[in-house]
Amino acid sequence: MSVVDRRAHELDTIAAVLPMERRDELAELLTDQDVETLRHLVNEGMGANTLDALTSDLTYLQAWSLAATGKSLPWPAPEALLLKFVAHHLWDPAKRENDPEHGMPAEVEHNLRGQGFLKVTTPHAPDTVRRRLATWSTLTKWRGLTGAFASPALKSAIRLAVRATPRPRKRKSARAVTGDVLAKMLATCSSGSLRDIRDRAILMVAFASGGRRRSKIAGLRREQLTVEPPIAVEDGPPLPSLAIHLGRTKTSGADHDEVVYLTGRPVEALDAWIDAARIDKGSVFRRVDRRGNVSKRTLDPKSVNDIVKQRAVLAGLEPGEFSAHGLRSGYLTEAANRGIPLPEAMEQSRHRSVQQASSYYNNATRRNGRAARLLD
């Protein structure tokens, strides 16, 4: 077995916790020590979202280092390499118009773009650069080493680069997918095709489970679902109930399994998809090709975002105004509009920050309040 094949096999052993559709590519880019670090973190109970983000950053850093220097990341990284990373990702668009050598060199950019790592044609967002440097710093510390991440020169370089590349802050989703918007999207999923059945289940589960992030929806597995006793209601038959076990997260602790519940129509929509696609184990949401064949591979998180936009188009809405994150913000906005107490909504959304969650409630209260209707 080759070194790359061995790494791919080792990555497979943590795939249940960290779904990685680009396993073979990761096996070539990451070193043995990188893979061993990831395996250790899985065993120590790091949250899947945190581990996924860390792996993504590490893979990008390795790809960039190979493209920019011809070598894997050095540990610890010299200050000059950190400054090079900043210079390659935070540059002045105005200066680049007159100086093609300014910013990321063309050959490095072509290399990263060809591998699918680089998609933007503008400077990177400062927060993205800071996050990747923080990941680099964290991995350095885990190796028992000290880097130059706190050096005055690096801090100054980032500060000056941010000033030279002003970027307006953008919301993750311009509009929240509230109940009325969701209803319009769901109305486009009525043909009875496998794709419609799947998309209906994705939209309903993502919204009703508290606005789950697209990575959680794409990575949902059959083994995470358990049937709960039906919920009795006064004016009709009992409603089906289902529990989704989210497992450990970065805020839940190593021994705590977070759970959210689905009731009624979302359960029926999910059951309809599972039955139609004949899914008895593994990934719940999968690709459906043009012939209506269901793939064995899990759906990519980006596809969840694409589905939201596609359904917006079919519903006669502006796709640029909506994204998968709109389901998360929409859940809390809708909860506020319906008068559901914030703590109860947060139990389902699993928000840990009251300040962040309450912002949706404050906006809804202000919009519907008397202060906004003085001339009504």
Q: Which CATH number fits domain 179-325: 1.25.40.10, 3.20.19.10, 2.60.120.260, 1.10.443.10?
A: 1.10.443.10
Cα separation values, 228 from 31, 278, 282, Å: 44, 21, 20
pLDDT of residue 19: 45
Residue 85 host element (H or E): helix 79-89
Q: Which residue has the higher pLDDT, 135 or 43?
A: 135
Question: Which residue carries 């709960």 as its tokens?
Answer: 228
Comparing C-alpha atoms, which of 244, 184, 179, 255 is closest to residue 212? 244
At 297, phi and psi to the nearest 5?
-90, 150
- Confidence band for 185, pLDDT divided at 50, 70 and 90: very high
Residue 17: pLDDT over 50:
no
Q: In what order do the strands lie in the sheet with 258-263?
A: 225-233, 236-247, 258-263
**Chain centroid, CA 339 distance in Å:** 29
Beta-bridge partner residues of 259: 245
Least confident residue range of 159-163, 178-182, 193-197: 159-163
Cα separation values, 372 from 329, 332, 364, Å: 22, 21, 11
pTM equals 0.59
* Beta carbons of 256 and 280 less than 8 angstroms apart: no
Amino acid at position 207, single letter: F
Cα separation values, 277 from 189, 207, 369, Å: 16, 21, 46
Cα Rg of the chain (Å, integer): 23
Numbers of helices and strands, H then E, in the chain: 17, 5
Residue 253: pLDDT over 60:
no
Helix 152-164 crosses helix 126-142 at what angle (to 10 degrees)?
Answer: 160
For 80-132, write each residue's pLDDT tens digit.
999 999 999 988 888 888 888 888 999 999 999 998 888 888 888 888 899 99
Average pLDDT over residues 325-329: 89
DSSP one-letter code for 289: -
pLDDT of residue 18: 46
Q: Which residue has the higher pLDDT, 215 or 358?
A: 215
Residue 51: pLDDT over 80:
no
For 274-288, write each residue's pLDDT tens digit.
999 999 999 999 999
DSSP one-letter code for 223: G
Residue 320: pLDDT over 50:
yes
Cα separation values, 216 from 181, 201, 209, 221, Å: 22, 14, 11, 9
Distance CA 24, CA 138 (A): 25
Distance CA 123, CA 129 (A): 10
Comparing C-alpha atoms, which of 295, 254, 259 is closest to residue 278? 295
Residue 28: pLDDT over 70:
no
For 256-268, write each residue's pLDDT tens digit.
668 899 999 999 9
- Confidence band for 338, pLDDT divided at 50, 70 and 90: confident
Cα separation values, 350 from 51, 81, 142, 234, Å: 18, 39, 29, 29
Q: Where are the beta strands (DSSP E) in the chain?
A: 225-233, 236-247, 258-263, 286-288, 294-298
Per-residue tokens: 190: 């009525």
- Confidence band for 42, pLDDT divided at 50, 70 and 90: low
Q: What is the domain partition of the chain in residue ranges?
A: 3-164, 179-325
* Beta carbons of 8 and 27 less than 8 angstroms apart: yes
Q: Are strands 286-288 and 258-263 parallel, antiparallel or unpaired?
A: unpaired
Question: Which residue carries 């790809």 as its tokens?
Answer: 63
Comparing C-alpha atoms, which of 285, 262, 278 is closest to residue 195? 285
Average pLDDT over residues 141-165: 84
Using a pLDDT cut of 70, give the percent of the chain over it. 77
Distance CA 40, CA 44 (A): 6
Comparing C-alpha atoms, which of 197, 78, 94, 199 is closest to residue 140? 78
Residue 375: pLDDT over 80:
no
pLDDT of residue 23: 53
Per-residue tokens: 161: 């680069």
